[in-house]
Structure 1
Amino acid sequence: MALTQELGEFVAGVAARGAPPATHAVAKTGFIDSIATMIAGRREDAVRTAHAALSPLAGGPARLWFGDAQAGAADAALLNGMAAHALDFDDVSLRGHPSAVLMPAIVALAQERGATGRAMLDAYVAGFETWGELVDRESGIHHMKGWHPTGVFGAVGAAAACACLLGLDARRASHALGLAASQSAGLMSNFGSMAKPFHAGRAAQAGVLSARLAAAGFTASPDALEHPQGFLAAISPAGNVDRESPADTLGRQWRIEARGLNLKKYPTCYYTHRAIDALLALLARQPVDAGEVASVEVTMSREHATVLRNHRPGDALAAKFSIEFAMASALVAGKVGMAQLDDGFVRSAPVQDLFARVHVSFAAAYDPDTPGAAFADQVVVRTRGGAVHASEPVHHALGHAQRPLPAAMLREKFLDCLHAGGATQGGEALFTQLLSLEHQSANGLQVLQLPDANHDSSTEIPCGS
């Protein structure tokens, strides 16, 4: 059986039989974390601009950012997906940001259909596993070719999730995947701009549209994913992609259990996190005045350094993809939080002055379990007085699936992010509901009272700082 059809069979099987409880536990964390970052991110310029450009929105049953405003499922998936990814504070796995795509698509369609929380969790698992099956067939690094995997694989993963939620049979589910593959997009060159969160939102929207079209009888090629001119071949960096092996572990070995989700402690590109952990731990052990720093050397992989393309960022959007900013923020402020992801702080003299003193060297040892990653990242700080301070190597950042955030820290991040998004009430109730999502319904979840993001001028509360 061809891969596209195998994945269609798998998605239909999850819809019919459900996914194991252990997979639901990981999926719930994805919902919690991405809903938090979505509500915090709704005030970002990219989201406000897109909302204004699309207004007036047609009415519908799907809620924008869990607030009073409602729209059709496709529009809600787009705007909610943009908000979930706008801060770059959302979780990481499968070489991308799965929850920022899967959650908005699932929630929007689930609210439209009045779906159960259990069905939402099954849909998330179906989307995650489909995404993982495709990304694991590639030996190259998509980032190095210029692809943003969140937008590229996210569209197909979201289509799988939505097809599962709609209960499509195998044939129509495979058509949904093929339709989504033709909508996959996202370029590395747009990192540090409003277009990056658009990749996530557009992928979520594509998932909704593809599943709906397939449900109505709209078709795609039965081999859209594995064809020599199909999805996998088209996006492969060097053509070293497996288009032919059977997907014989689907439904027997669950990637979501084995890999989990890596949650972000800092609202910057995940490739900065190990170095931030290393430097903050070093500074806790040996305080260093930023003005006395002669140089900061960061050892990381060439692939990760390539993604961190902004060496002298001039605003907060660009700073998210700058190892120079991450190190400068840790040295100047002693933290890298939402309060530091501010244009004024990024442009301040102490921060800008440090950029030229941050240097990257490439690691020789790579992590066999994480393509493109060094085995560990490390930071060495040299002072003007000649002192040399070396951090411990960091293999997993705090928040990694192998080094998870404590439950109290996850709750704190959730509530801080809701506060940052203007939700001063209802956060505790929503968090409690999401902890038992399998016993809830999409339309029974807490509705938050949110001020108008396009006109609210209240002071934002730092999220995750």
Structure 2
Amino acid sequence: MCFLGGERQLKAGSTVTEEARSGFTNRLAAMVAETPVGAFSDAALAAAARAILNFVGTAIGGSTQPSQAILSEAIGVGAESGPSTVLGTRIRTNPLSASYLNAASANVLDFDDTHLPTVAHPIGPVASALLALSQQRPTSGTVLLQSLILGVEVACRLGRSLTPAHYARGWHITATTGVVGAAAGAARAMGLPLEHTSVAMAHAATQACGLVVSLGAMSKSLAVAGAARNGLLSAILAERGFTAPANAIEAPFGFVDLFGANASVDLPRRIDRPGWELESVQLKPYPCAVVINPLVECGRAVAEAVGSDEIATIAAHGPPLLLIRANRPNISSRGEAQLSAQHALAATLLHGQPRLEDFGEAAISDLRLADLRARIGLVADLAHSIDSARLAVTLHNGRVLEWEVGKNVAIGQRMLSPQDLEAKFVTLAVPVIGEERAARIMSDIAGFGAAVDIGAVMEKWNFMEKWN
């Protein structure tokens, strides 16, 4: 049977009452289940294909990290077999375990994606659930891309309803909203009607979790991995008749009430937005926290103008979030390095931009980088937002030079061109699977929109010789 994103239910109609439709949970569910297949623009579908390529690249690149081996062994995937691929490996397992491991590996390098209005990374949980599901249930490329668009839409719209109180209180918004997005995307791909889609999102909402305090540690990826798995599980449970309240998102003691403080008053305005959120999700240009990017852009300009040995001190001005999240002058692990503004800026000054290898063990212990980190101080400046920064660089000769986004630095958040994205994929994938295989996967994903069965396409990825 081919699950075509709810087309059967669209033709048959829905029995949901107008009163039930007025609830926010059901309004989101109606968008997921009943958006016509012709409502997706070419630009949105192209953005979805780019998002898949970025996700697969980061998952393959992250698959060799020590945390992935620990997770795989802990959940026992080596002792079983199944239809779904753990990207970057020869492991086949059940869709729930594959979605869990792939979401973790795509998140571990901090090289994934960002929805700037919410500072969430919404693609990973949704894409991971959909790709794992597509290897168990025949799913066309068109349905996969549309389901990704809708799943990300749900996650981002919920994120907007919770921002800024949610993240400020310490909830990891990628995971808390990502689980609902993954459930929504999976429900669309499975062809669930409105009623079951609403239930799937309610199941996901009650499993939402993730703490910001985990950022910088291996546990950061646990909640993101759980968001993919639990979102997929939520859709499967809904399909089988496992019940949930119809108003889990907006009800008293529900999702928004718990996670968003007083955010519920903005829920109608923030949920009913035009356009597709996925088109504005940025694919990360650097393997570090997104709040650091404007400093990196300024640092690139500094590196072109002066040598790192000429610099005495740097005052790095950015939004308060920069200090709250990325003030880490002393680091001892990759996770900490990826969240260190001082380290990312030091790597930029030394190498022109932060590279994947600049966050590995050798770079962490590099005395040149340690020396540069010690010269950098962070300054919280309310004049700056997540896409702006200013560097005041004092040279050993006493001169003070300044670089600032919007003045002598053009941008704070760099958008990846198609060529940039391909180069990023190659950087991530080739060390794990080789050039020929990386090129094959890029070509396959470029053709996803015309694919009859995504699982059949991915089947060819798993049994290649010399795959790890």
Structure 2: state its 5+ residue gaps: 1-21
- Amino acid of the residue matched to residue 248 of structure 2? A
**What residue is the counterpart of 2:73 in the other structure?**
52
Partner of 2:18: none
Offset, 1:350: 2.2
CA contact (8 A) 1:399 1:405 kept: no
Moved more, 100-109 or 89-98: 89-98
SS of the counterpart of 1:295?
strand
Q: 2:400 matched to 1:388?
A: yes
- The within-5 A match list for 1:379-458 is 379-393=391-405, 400=413, 404-440=415-451, 441-442=453-454, 443-445=456-458, 446-447=460-461, 449=464
Once the two structures are TM-superposed, the CA of residue 347 in structure 1 deviates from its matched residue by: 2.1
Contact 2:162-2:259 at 8 Å conserved across structures: no
Once the two structures are superposed, the pairs formed by residues 238-257 of structure 1 within 5 Å of their partners are 238-242=261-265, 245=268, 249=272, 253-257=275-279
Answer with 407-416 or 171-180: which moved more: 407-416
Provide, for residues 164-222 of structure 1, a one-character-per-residue CA deviation record: whole Å limited to 9, x for no partner.
11111111101100110111111111111111122221111011100000000011111
What secondary structure, in the 3-state scheme, does the structure 1 residue paired with 2:250 have? Answer: coil
The one-letter code sitting in structure 1 at the alignment partner of 2:54 is D
Q: Is the 8 A contact 1:15 1:164 kept in 2?
A: no
Shift in Å at residue 415 of structure 1? 1.6
**Is 2:214 the partner of 1:190?**
yes
Q: 1:73 aligns with which of 95, 105, 108?
A: 95
1:135 counterpart letter in structure 2:
G
Q: Structure 1 residues 143 and 421 mapped into 2: Cα distance closer, same or farther (>3 Å)?
A: farther
CA contact (8 A) 2:161 2:270 kept: no
Q: Distance in 1 between matches of 2:442 and 2:376?
A: 40
**1:169 maps to 2:204:** no
Cα gap change, 1:452/1:309 in structure 2, threshold over 3 Å: closer, same or farther? farther
TM-score w.r.t. length of structure 1: 0.88
SS of structure 2 residue aligned to 1:339: helix
The structural deviation recorded for 1:340 is 0.9
Residue 463 of structure 1: aligned partner: none
Identity of aligned residues (%): 24
2:42 is equivalent to residue 11 of structure 1: no
Helix, strand or coil for the counterpart of 1:382? strand
Alignment of 1:303-382 (within 5 A): 303-366=321-384, 373-374=385-386, 376-382=388-394
Is the 8 Å Cα contact of residues 88 and 432 (structure 2) preserved in structure 1? no
The alpha-carbon deviation at position 311 of structure 1 amounts to 3.0
Matches of 2:425 and 2:411, distance apart in 1 = 16
Q: CA deviation at 1:390?
A: 1.4
* Aligned counterparts of 2:121 and 2:54: Cα–Cα separation in 1: 11
Following superposition of structure 1 onto structure 2, how do residues 35-184 of structure 1 map, counting pairs within 5 Å? 35-55=56-76, 56-65=78-87, 67-93=89-115, 94-184=118-208
Cα offset for 1:275?
Answer: 0.5
Which stretch shows the higher mean deviation, 151-160 or 379-388? Answer: 379-388
Displacement after TM superposition at 1:72 (Å) = 0.6
Instruction: Supply the AA of the counterpart residue of 1:82.
Output: A
Whichever residue aligns with residue 403 of structure 2, its letter is S
Q: Given that residues 378 and 393 in structure 1 are in contact (C-alpha distance below 8 angstroms), is that contact kept between their aligned partners in structure 2?
A: yes
Q: Distance in 1 between matches of 2:70 and 2:47?
A: 33
| In structure 2, C-alpha distance between the alignment counterparts of 1:346 and 1:384, rounded to whole Å | 25
SS of the aligned residue for 1:123 comes to helix
Report the alpha carbon displacement of residue 144 of structure 1 after superposing the two structures with TM. 1.9
The one-letter amino acid of 2:111's match is F
Distance 1:437 1:242, change over 3 A: farther
Q: Distance in 1 between matches of 2:267 and 2:436?
A: 52
Render the CA deviation track for 1:43-62: whole Å, top value 9, x for unaligned: 01111110111223432111
TM-superposed deviation, 1:364: 3.0
1:254-265 equivalence runs, <5 A: 254-257=276-279, 260-265=280-285
Cα distance between partner residues in 2 of 1:345 and 1:330: 12
* Secondary structure in structure 2 of the residue aligned to 1:242: helix
CA contact (8 A) 1:104 1:204 kept: yes
Please report how far the alpha carbon of residue 436 of structure 1 lies from its aligned counterpart in structure 2 after TM superposition.
2.6
Between Structure 1 and Structure 2, the one with more helix by share is 2
Alignment-mate amino acid for residue 448 of structure 2: L
Q: What is the aligned counterpart of 2:290 among 236, 252, 270?
A: 270
**1:273·1:397 contact (CA, 8 Å) conserved in 2?**
no
Equivalents in 2 of 1:57, 1:243: separation in Å? 48
Deviation of the 1:282 alpha carbon: 1.8
Mean alpha-carbon deviation: is it higher for 406-415 or for 178-187?
406-415
Structure 1's 200 and 40: CA in aligned 2 closer, same or farther, altered over 3 A?
A: same
User: Equivalent residue of 1:381, what SS?
Assistant: strand
Retained in 1: the 8 A contact 2:291–2:386? no
Secondary structure of the equivalent of 1:151?
helix
- Give the secondary-structure state (helix, strand or coil) at the position aligned to 1:59: coil
Distance in 1, matches of 2:122 and 2:387, equals: 23
- Kept in 2: contact 1:133–1:247 (CA 8 A): yes
* Cα deviation 1:114-160 (Å, max 9, x = unaligned): 21111100110110111122112234243321111111110001000
Preserved contact between residue 143 and residue 307 of structure 1 (Cα < 8 Å): no
Closer, same or farther in 2 for the Cα pair 1:202/1:452, shift >3 Å?
Answer: farther
How does the TM-score come out when normalised to structure 2?
0.88
| Structure 2 letter corresponding to 1:64 | V
Q: Residues 146, 248 of structure 1: CA spacing in aligned structure 2 closer, same or farther, 3 A cutoff? A: closer
The equivalent residue for 1:456 is none
Q: Deviation string for 1:8-59 (max 9, x for gaps)?
A: 1111113766633332111111101111111000001111110111223432
RMSD between superposed Cα atoms in Å: 2.3
What is the letter of the counterpart of residue 430 of structure 2?
A: H
Which amino acid is 1:65 matched to?
Answer: L
Displacement of 1:228 after TM fit?
Answer: 1.9
Contact map agreement 1:11 1:164 (CA 8 A) in 2: yes
**1:408/1:192 CA distance change after superposition, 3 Å:** same
